[in-house]
Structure 1
Amino acid sequence: MSLVKKFATVASGTLASRIFGFTREMLMAAALGTGPVADAFNAAFRFPNTFRRLFAEGAFNSAFVPLFAKEIEKNGLDGARRFSEEVFGVLFTVLLCLTIVMELSMPFLVRYVIAPGFIDDPQKFRNTITLAAIMFPYLACMSLGAMMSGMLNSLHRYFAAAIAPVFLNFILIGVLGWAWYNGHDAMSVGYGLSWGVMAAGFVQLAIVSTAVRKAGIKIGFRRPRFTPNVKRLLILALPAAVTGGITQINLLINTNIASSREGAVSSLVYADRIYQLPLGVVGIAVATVLLPELARALRSGNLKEAANLQNRSVEFTLFLTLPAAAALLVMSEPIVRLLYERGEFSPDATRVVAGILAIYGLGLPAFVLIKAFIPGFFAREDTRTPMIFAAISVIVNVTLALTLFPRYGAAGIAVAEIVAGWINVVLLFSTLAWRGHWGKDIPLLTRIPRLVLAAAVMAGGLYYAMQWQGHLLATGVPFLVQAATVGLLVAAGGIVYFALAFGLGGANAGMIRRSLKRKAAVGVKKQGSDSA
């Protein structure tokens, strides 16, 4: 399977999850707006969700995958199964203890970590504690699920792990539909969503565990022991968790800061949901596929293939991400109005969320590039260097957020996030190049400025088109009219961008065709050895 086809497999599942996520957020915005229950739920959900991405997806997709791939190459599926059972026993025990401790400590955590600004509103403070306690077991399910997803990715079975998150949105949409049908109030909706999150964790875990068994690996429970393999995993996982979850660390810190202003937490969450669509579809797909492929190429000694994988991944991500960033920058207000402005979500909320989303658009290429650069370190089992850069990024984010939030509100926090992201990109890339792990690629260097120019021209065209057709995008215009207008603008912008990208030489048919047909050299080598 070609690299791009693997990207597409993961991206299709992620895209489905994001689309249903939009549906969920649209219903939530209509039911809760940016009011106190929305703030309480979003703050409470961000806590287990941050831990999930920090210690589950970030750590295991970065540390577990290379070690699991090494076991497959050295000892086959039996060796990989033994390693998985060793890790599972330790992970399950740690998660059980962590869940108990966190549940007992939830009042303290909400007061000092999650949302200290809620203390002035006793009802919101109590609601956040209760909702976070209901949802926290979601972390344990998703952490175990992330381990199994890493196994599936190493075995080139990407779809089950990519599609499983869709079921969180299915369940929450069902909860919101039931609440609307029965006329539930905001507080009942918040509690229903929290129980839905916990149920979704068990459903997603069941999906990936079933897929692992079908892939030929049946994991049994072993008494937790710190074997050499487990110790190696833990040494790699701690810095990998910090590095891979840098965005989540910043989001948790920013939630803490934003909790002191009414509606700021929910505004950031609503903007983040839209911005996560291109980030998830492109960035997460590339990072998920690139890490095991790059690790395999390096272990086989194929440095040329490793360099080619890195360069083509950056080229592919920028080719798709730059127009998305330009569209978010220019079209943020009509996009937010179309998706959210109804029910409890007011025009004022639209303007606030749109301003945040436009700022996120400027940072989108940075966060996608981070996901393309980090595998260059993790595949070489270097998780310390990216962790240091992540720590620098966090310091920059916190300093700027504390400085800008009092004056600019949630928009100041968004600025802090993207500045920190771009600093992380510069540090990662310059270090890879300095170490000789990122070879000069003339086609890539010549294509990037042409893609930037194509995206800039597209953005200018969209801006003037919106001035011309602005009356069709205003508050009060029927939903279908707004949807059709936004859809036509996006389609026209896409045509302009891709025409310019190909016309200016930022992309060409040969590049796309080679990407679609090219198979990883290590994969070819494996097939040859299998046939022998």
Structure 2
Amino acid sequence: MKLASPAAAVGLAAIVSRLLGYARDVLVANLLGAGPMAEALLAALRAPNALRRTLGEGGLNAALTPIYLRLRMQEGHVHAAAFARTTLILATLALGILGALLALSAGVVIHLSAPGLESRPQDFDLARWWFVLMTPFISVATLASIAAAFLNAERRYVIAALAPAIVNAALVGAYLAIPHVASTPQTMGALMALSLSIGGLLQLGLVLWPLMPALRQAANGLQPGVMAGIGKALRLGAPALVATASFQIIGVVASAIASQEPAALAWFYYADRLFQLPLSLAGVVIGSVVLTELGANRVNASETPAPPGNDMLDHALVSALAIGLPAAAALFVLAEPIIRTLFGRGAFSSSDVSGTSLALMAMAPGLPAGVVARVLLQELLVREKALASAACGIAGITVTALTAVLLTPHWGVSGAGAAVAAGLWAQCLAIASILTSRNWWRPSRAIARPVLVQTLATAIMTAALILAGSGPLLAHASGVRRLTALLLLCAAGGAIYGAIIWIGGGGLPGSGFRKQRAGCQRLLRRNRT
């Protein structure tokens, strides 16, 4: 199965979902700015958001998809459906208990995610109460992710990817209505927290509905191999979840260390949200489409020096870099105009724009490492090397913590952003070293040309953005004119990058101008004959 069509569909759904998520952030920034109320809400949101991103980007696919595929291919659809049904029932019971425990330990969660709030008891209490209102979301979002993993295993990628977009659209509507029914920031924050839990229930319903026919047809009682599959999923699931969650934990750790300074928590949050767009886009596609296709190829394969699906991994790597390289350059060069255009109004001051921009610029160099790590991680996960995957994630988290402790006292929120970049590079190098040392993956010569072309295209695009971004329109315009100028600038940069990629063959290996020209020549010869 070719990756292009499902990846494009999933990617489009992910983009829509992330853009709607930014609309929610813009509303929060306009209503609460970056002051104490905003920091309390964002501290409460930190853990649920990290979990939502991890699960939405395939955090449980690595444990569930290969087992489901093996049961379906070797035992039939009935066994696979029985495995899905039993897993959902047991997960519902476990997650109900987990939600209650999290609500009871809300103070500990806020202490870990934003220790700087403890010096402000009133804000700390608000964050703790708002987190209690969000705890149902954690349970239902995890159940929705389990159901989405089974949808992905059936290659119903678009349905699973569209559900978060629909939920985000509903939340945007709720956030627009909240100012009309709440008069104080405290009430606004409580309603925002409660609406997140309601949105989680909506998402669960959307992904469960397509599975219901298969779940109802599953035979009553336990099929042979189902409980063994669930036991294996539990053994693989915890370390695999650590590995995929590490991309979010890296940000949580850096944010917690940065929270010691006033407003730094809010600055880091808004910068991280922009940083996560390309990283999450790559994660959604890779964690659903690529993992499923690799898993299907591995069902009957053994660990050989030249494993099936290696070409697919190379293709995914080139495609991920095609997102990561230009996105990193654009976020670094255009950080200030982007932040000012999106958030620079209402309670969000000029100093907030400056602090958020510096954090985003410091994070940007880590983006290519993040997308490459996400691709290479799939090879470890599909080989069921979950402990090695978790070790790489822990290495990235450790480097992030050490770097943040060293840099934040001197660079402030920029030091926390640089720590994120350092952690992602450490994790990427750790995964690559394991794969190459065990001869599970070697970068083929075919990807050298596309990567070089992508690097050249990124450099040319960056130079064009620097020249155009220094113009008077973007520097002095405001409102709609600034937004229009920024969109035109981004479109022009994307066009430059895309043109060079197409001419030089910087897409998938073997693509490019020469291949297109050869195809046109063959078509013309057939038409003449």
Give per-residue Cα distances to partners, 1:91-144, cap 9 Å, x unaligned: 122111111111112223323x23221111121011001000000110110111
AA aligned opposite 2:273: R
Indicate the residue corresponding to 1:191 in structure 2.
Answer: 190
Find out whether 1:362 has 2:354 as its counterpart.
no
Q: Which moved more, 1:254-263 or 1:98-107?
A: 254-263
Residue 10 to residue 513, structure 1, CA distance change in 2 (3 Å): farther
Specify every segment of 5 or more residues in structure 1 that has no aligned partner in the other structure, as ranges.
517-532
* Secondary structure at 2:75 match in 1: helix
What is the distance in 1 between the residues matched to 2:119 and 2:283? 39
AA aligned opposite 1:397: T
AA aligned opposite 2:296: R
Report the RMSD for the aligned CA atoms in angstroms: 2.6
Q: Which moved more, 1:383-392 or 1:209-218?
A: 209-218
- Contact 1:59–1:238 (CA under 8 A) maintained in structure 2: no
- Contact 1:473–1:485 (CA under 8 A) maintained in structure 2: yes
Following superposition, the deviation at residue 510 of structure 1 comes to 5.8
Give per-residue Cα distances to partners, 1:184-223, cap 9 Å, x unaligned: 3322221111011010010000000002225676679989
What is the distance in 2 between the residues matched to 1:217 and 1:494? 47
- Contact 2:504–2:512 (CA under 8 A) maintained in structure 1: no
* Secondary structure at 1:511 match in 2: coil
Following superposition, the deviation at residue 293 of structure 1 comes to 0.4
TM-score (norm 1): 0.90
Indicate the residue corresponding to 1:527 in structure 2.
Answer: none
- Contact 2:84–2:215 (CA under 8 A) maintained in structure 1: no
- Contact 2:58–2:288 (CA under 8 A) maintained in structure 1: no
Give per-residue Cα distances to partners, 1:479-505, cap 9 Å, x unaligned: 111112112211221222122223344
- Contact 1:88–1:221 (CA under 8 A) maintained in structure 2: no
Q: Which has the higher contact order (CA 8 A, sep 6+)?
A: 1
AA aligned opposite 2:189: G
Indicate the residue corresponding to 1:450 in structure 2.
Answer: 453
Indicate the residue corresponding to 1:127 in structure 2.
Answer: 126
Indicate the residue corresponding to 1:15 in structure 2.
Answer: 15
- Contact 2:152–2:289 (CA under 8 A) maintained in structure 1: yes
Indicate the residue corresponding to 1:474 in structure 2.
Answer: 475
Residue 515 to residue 83, structure 1, CA distance change in 2 (3 Å): farther
AA aligned opposite 2:293: E
Give 1:387-426 correspondences, 5 Å limit.
387-426=390-429
Residue 461 to residue 363, structure 1, CA distance change in 2 (3 Å): same
AA aligned opposite 1:8: A
* Secondary structure at 2:325 match in 1: helix
- Contact 1:118–1:124 (CA under 8 A) maintained in structure 2: yes
Following superposition, the deviation at residue 506 of structure 1 comes to 2.8
Indicate the residue corresponding to 2:46 in structure 1.
Answer: 46
Give per-residue Cα distances to partners, 1:376-418, cap 9 Å, x unaligned: 0111111111111111111111111111112211211111111
Indicate the residue corresponding to 1:494 in structure 2.
Answer: 494
Give 1:192-211 correspondences, 5 Å limit.
192-211=191-210
- Contact 1:30–1:345 (CA under 8 A) maintained in structure 2: yes
Give per-residue Cα distances to partners, 1:335-372, cap 9 Å, x unaligned: 11111111001111111111111222211111111111
What is the distance in 2 between the residues matched to 1:372 and 1:143? 23
Residue 322 to residue 220, structure 1, CA distance change in 2 (3 Å): farther
Residue 59 to residue 509, structure 1, CA distance change in 2 (3 Å): closer
What is the distance in 1 between the residues matched to 2:78 and 2:360? 48
Indicate the residue corresponding to 2:252 in structure 1.
Answer: 252
Indicate the residue corresponding to 2:519 in structure 1.
Answer: none
Residue 357 to residue 221, structure 1, CA distance change in 2 (3 Å): farther
Following superposition, the deviation at residue 226 of structure 1 comes to 9.8
Find out whether 1:343 has 2:346 as its counterpart.
yes
What is the distance in 1 between the residues matched to 2:153 and 2:170? 29
Q: Which moved more, 1:408-417 or 1:168-177?
A: 168-177
Give per-residue Cα distances to partners, 1:424-449, cap 9 Å, x unaligned: 11121222122222134112022212
AA aligned opposite 1:186: P
What is the distance in 1 between the residues matched to 2:388 and 2:376? 12
- Contact 2:58–2:287 (CA under 8 A) maintained in structure 1: no
Give per-residue Cα distances to partners, 1:270-302, cap 9 Å, x unaligned: 112212222222332123211110011122449
Indicate the residue corresponding to 2:163 in structure 1.
Answer: 164
Indicate the residue corresponding to 1:4 in structure 2.
Answer: 4
What is the distance in 2 between the residues matched to 1:355 and 1:28? 20
AA aligned opposite 2:261: R
What is the distance in 2 between the residues matched to 1:220 and 1:357? 52
Following superposition, the deviation at residue 85 of structure 1 comes to 2.5
What is the distance in 2 between the residues matched to 1:173 and 1:440? 43
- Contact 2:20–2:169 (CA under 8 A) maintained in structure 1: yes
